[in-house]
Amino acid sequence: MNRLPPAPSNCCSFEDYKLTTDWLKKQTRHRPTVAVICGSGLGLLADRATDKQTFRYQDIPNFPVSTVQGHEGCLVFGTIEETSCVFMQGHFHLYEGYSLCKVTFPVRIFKLLGVEALVVTNASGGICPDFKVGDIMVIKDHINLPGFAGQHPLCGPNDDRFGTRFPCMSDAYSKELRRQCVDVGTALGCGSFIREGVYCMVSGPNFETIAEARMLQILGCDSVGMSTVPEVTVAKHCGMRVLGLSLITNKVSLDYSREEKVNHEEVLQISKMRAEVIREMVTRMISRCTQSINTH
């Protein structure tokens, strides 16, 4: 039997994941097939679920705790249109001081719980000049800037129980789910502010300098944020289908003559403005995720 090399000290072991999964299975009767990660100010995505059970992150063994305003810090199990789901009300970031093993810890728990599709939402700054504040971007691809510098959630020993050593990322975001999501947005009358684009992750916690923003635009980035990519990478590694939605909460400054300055309070305000639309889109997409799972 092949043995894995010792895990680096900042990595979680399979036993850590199993302990948390076993604890949750004992606490809840739900066996979710779809997971939703709620970004800044978007925790109400879980409101439509019925038969809910809620667990605070701090009460779950081995679970990280969210420290950012706008992230409630609860794991919510429930049912939407006969689909068993689990919602993360708040996720984790490198800038909070967590290792990427901890940032992505919940995704591997979802895998062990039986989740097959992940919907991830976030707030981001718009780089594409055509984007407006309040637009909803369906993520078609991403650029993992921390990964270029060796900050990658799959670094270290690979555990084949989760996925292959070298996963393909050219189709990280399901083309079928992206198409259906655009159709859903159009049917809801939101076609004028539904976009598709490339999301770039930076580590934060500062917002970008103008020079950095100009570089990202040259690289082909349409929006930029401080999350999502590690979770998507691990979800893809685990064989999940992924849909990503990014709410454009501010325009990234590309001009030295601009006086406006972005702040986190404005991000939360725009999130609140569009939260109902995103909630309706996610609710309708959950059943489509289930249909997609059943046909593959």
Q: What is the pLDDT of residue 146?
A: 96
What is the C-alpha to C-alpha distance for residues 36 and 26, in angstroms, rounded to an integer? 21
pTM for the full predicted model: 0.91
Instruction: Please count the residues of the chain.
Output: 296
User: Has residue 177 been placed in a domain?
Assistant: yes
Question: Do residues 174 and 243 touch, judged by C-beta distance below 8 A?
Answer: yes
Q: Which domain holds residue 112?
A: 28-294
Percent of the residues in the chain that have a pLDDT greater than 70, as a whole number: 90
Residue 1 confidence (pLDDT) above 50: no
**Average of per-residue pLDDT across 181-194:** 94
Task: Quote the CA–CA distance of 152 and 229 in Å, as a whole number.
Answer: 10
Q: In the structure, what pLDDT confidence band is assigned to residue 112 with cuts at 50, 70 and 90?
A: very high
Average pLDDT, integer, range 139-163: 95
With respect to residue 290, please indicate whether it lies within any of the assigned structural domains: yes
296 pLDDT band, cuts 50/70/90, is low
Amino acid letter at 264?
H
Cα distances (Å, whole numbers) of residue 201 to 46, 82, 143: 25, 34, 6
Mean pLDDT computed over every residue of the chain: 90
pLDDT tier, 9 (very low <50, low <70, confident <90, very high otherwise): very low
| Residue of higher predicted confidence among 279 and 241 | 241
User: Between residues 249 and 196, which one has the greater pLDDT?
Assistant: 196
Asked whether residue 283 is assigned to any structural domain, the reply reads yes
Residue numbers annotated as active site = 40, 71, 93, 95-96, 123, 226-227, 250, 264
CATH code of the domain in which 264 resides: 3.40.50.1580
- Looking at the structure of the chain, the number of domains it has is 1
- Residue 5 in any domain: the answer is no
In a domain, 1, yes or no: no
Q: Percentage of residues in the chain with pLDDT exceeding 90?
A: 72
Instruction: Give the confidence band of 295 by pLDDT, cuts at 50, 70, 90.
Output: low
Residue 62 in domain: yes
- Look at residue 55 and tell me if it is in a domain: yes
Within-domain flag for 10: no
The C-alpha atoms of residue 280 and residue 265 are separated, in whole angstroms, by 24
- Nearest by Cα to 196 from 163, 213, 173, 171: 173
Beta carbons within 10 angstroms of residue 171's beta carbon: 11
What distances in angstroms separate CA 253 from CA 144, 196, 215, 250, 261, one per listed residue? 21, 20, 12, 9, 8
Burial of 68 (0-12, 13-18, 19+ CB in 10 A): middle
Q: pLDDT tens for residues 33-79? A: 999 999 866 777 788 899 999 999 999 999 998 776 655 789 999 99
The pLDDT value recorded for residue 276 is 83
Q: 293 falls in which pLDDT band (50, 70, 90)?
A: low
Q: Is the pLDDT of residue 135 over 90?
A: yes
Q: What is the pLDDT of residue 285?
A: 93
